[in-house]
Structure 1
Amino acid sequence: MVTLAVDTSHPTGAVSLARDGAHLGTERFARPSSHLVALAHAVEKLLADASLTPRDVARVAVVVGPGSFTGLRIGLSFAKGLHAAGGADIVPIDSLRLLALPLLESHGCVCAMIDARRGEVYAAVYERAAGTEHREDAAATRVVVAPCALAPSAFFDALTVAPDAFVGSGTVAARAEIAARFPGAVFAPDSGNLPDTAFLAGIAPAMPALVEAAVRRLEPLYVRPSGAERVRLRRHGRDGGGDRG
């Protein structure tokens, strides 16, 4: 199976290609939120280097959020386009889970945090499910805390578990507080603070693909309202928080 993994949730986008779980290549590109062309060119290069065409892609694993609002829409639209044109299966995954998965191979409870700007982070906590010690089972995780958007201190105050590992861009500014609140917790290296599309392309064949009706309904996981929606909420006396997009 030829699998393409797409991440446009961060300021630097990435795509990776794998065949039967074996990594074939990765391309990175700047500002995916404003350049659909950059994404298309990156995929085109990956396929050409592997002597493949878009119709050879049997499965597209796409990061659906949270992250850059515009970037998420572009990545998801691209994945749906491949599905419509060539019948590729779609496997969605949230960015926080993807950050946590590599660490869950060696840690039981992982907190993933992404800088959401405006003093907030997107954050979630995951545990490795029983019997999922191997890489190909890594997608089978238990959600301890579902993705949310909060100030780091507020998020930590609400936790009823103590993660033993932290990962993601949101941990950088909060590192001292994390170390004080969770002594002994480890931090992912800087290289692990972005979603790993090569890892995703490798595990995607073992993940369940969406049925057609679910593909049509699939939307980005924003977690909090966009800027336009936030303005609308304020007009009605409610504040939906900030916007990262």
Structure 2
Amino acid sequence: MSELLLTIDTTTPVGSVAVTGGETLLGEVLLNLRSTHTDRLLLTVRQLLTDLNLDISAIEGFGVVLGPGSFTGVRVGVATVKGLALATGKPVAGVSTLRTLALQAPFARSPVCALLDARKKEVYAGLFTWEGGRPLPLGGEAVLAPEALLDSLEGEVLFVGDGSLAYRTLIVRMLGARAHFLPWPLNLPRASCAAMLVLDELRQGRTVPLEALKPTYIRASEAEILWDRRRQDGLFEG
């Protein structure tokens, strides 16, 4: 098996698609655009495969970044991978956005805090430590106010992700010299990093049945919040 994989990340406005063969990156497209992923994702997949002289039938497995992130973006990525896997009958694995981001700080000596701007003055956050060549979670992933996150952190921390850019002034004010940051290009999530984690999952047989492949939102959607508020206010019965 050549372990030819196609991995998709649409969890943030930075959409990316990567094709890997085992532990070799064959090609990657990364676009930081404000157009929706629906408009360009399949075109990007098709163009990358064409440039590599590959047909979709040659792909032996699919990977997708499940979230957290943009609700619409996460859904687009998961739905696209489900469709491709259903059409080809190939296995699928899903990975975390935050752990994927942590991979961009290899062999960090201090804990890595992966941060995504969750809007509404909150961040999606996950804390990781490097062990065995991979970032391992030091706890669960959460959505919370950045001040609450920073209050909970001890010692030196390396920040990665667009949340570290959006809240850099606050981070430096609260943590001072304990805060460290990656160069700005490394804060963009990349499908090639996700592909490393996807390859690990598939090699260990941790595939996901298509009916069980679901986005990881962490925070309830606006529709769910509105529904719950109306239910609590007695506007709905049952």
Which residue in 2 is equivalent to 1:234? Answer: 229
Name the CA distance, whole Å, in 2 between partners of 1:56 and 1:120: 41
Is the contact made by 2:95 and 2:198 (CA closer than 8 Å) also made in structure 1? no
1:168 is aligned with what amino acid? G
For this pair of structures, how many residues does the alignment match?
Answer: 227
Is the contact made by 2:94 and 2:208 (CA closer than 8 Å) also made in structure 1? no
- Deviation string for 1:10-65 (max 9, x for gaps)? 11311111122211222234346x34241001000111111111111112121110
SS at match of 1:102: coil
Is the contact made by 1:2 and 1:18 (CA closer than 8 Å) also made in structure 2? yes
Name the CA distance, whole Å, in 2 between partners of 1:199 and 1:64: 14
Which residue in 2 is equivalent to 1:173? Answer: 166
Is the contact made by 2:95 and 2:197 (CA closer than 8 Å) also made in structure 1? no
1:162 is aligned with what amino acid? G
| Mapping of residues 123-142 of structure 1, within 5 Å | 123-129=125-131, 132-133=132-133, 138=134, 141-142=135-136
1:221 paired with 2:216, answer yes
Is the contact made by 1:64 and 1:94 (CA closer than 8 Å) also made in structure 2? yes
Name the CA distance, whole Å, in 2 between partners of 1:59 and 1:211: 9
Name the CA distance, whole Å, in 2 between partners of 1:91 and 1:78: 13
Name the CA distance, whole Å, in 1 between partners of 2:230 and 2:186: 40
Which residue in 2 is equivalent to 1:153? Answer: 147
Instruction: Identify the match of residue 196 of structure 1 among 190, 202, 205.
Output: 190
- Report the alpha carbon displacement of residue 220 of structure 1 after superposing the two structures with TM: 0.5
1:173 is aligned with what amino acid? A
Name the CA distance, whole Å, in 2 between partners of 1:212 and 1:118: 32
Is the contact made by 1:28 and 1:42 (CA closer than 8 Å) also made in structure 2? no
Distance 1:198 1:155, change over 3 A: same
Name the CA distance, whole Å, in 2 between partners of 1:198 and 1:212: 20
Name the CA distance, whole Å, in 2 between partners of 1:164 and 1:35: 32
Identity, in percent, stands at 33
Which residue in 1 is equivalent to 2:236? Answer: none
1:42 is aligned with what amino acid? T
Is the contact made by 2:155 and 2:178 (CA closer than 8 Å) also made in structure 1? no
Is the contact made by 1:22 and 1:202 (CA closer than 8 Å) also made in structure 2? no
- Report the alpha carbon displacement of residue 86 of structure 1 after superposing the two structures with TM: 1.1
Instruction: Identify the match of residue 73 of structure 1 among 72, 75, 81.
Output: 75
2:51 is aligned with what amino acid? D
2:157 is aligned with what amino acid? D
SS at match of 1:103: coil
- Report the alpha carbon displacement of residue 128 of structure 1 after superposing the two structures with TM: 2.0
1:26 is aligned with what amino acid? E
Instruction: Identify the match of residue 58 of structure 1 among 42, 51, 60.
Output: 60
Which residue in 2 is equivalent to 1:162? Answer: 155
- Report the alpha carbon displacement of residue 108 of structure 1 after superposing the two structures with TM: 4.1
* Structure 1 unaligned regions, length at least 5: 239-245
SS at match of 2:103: helix
Which residue in 2 is equivalent to 1:14? Answer: 16
Instruction: Give the TM-score of the pair, scaled to structure 2.
Output: 0.86
Distance 1:91 1:212, change over 3 A: closer
1:227 is aligned with what amino acid? E
Name the CA distance, whole Å, in 1 between partners of 2:94 and 2:156: 25
Is the contact made by 2:162 and 2:188 (CA closer than 8 Å) also made in structure 1? yes
Name the CA distance, whole Å, in 2 between partners of 1:4 and 1:229: 32
Instruction: Give the TM-score of the pair, scaled to structure 1.
Output: 0.84
Name the CA distance, whole Å, in 2 between partners of 1:40 and 1:62: 14
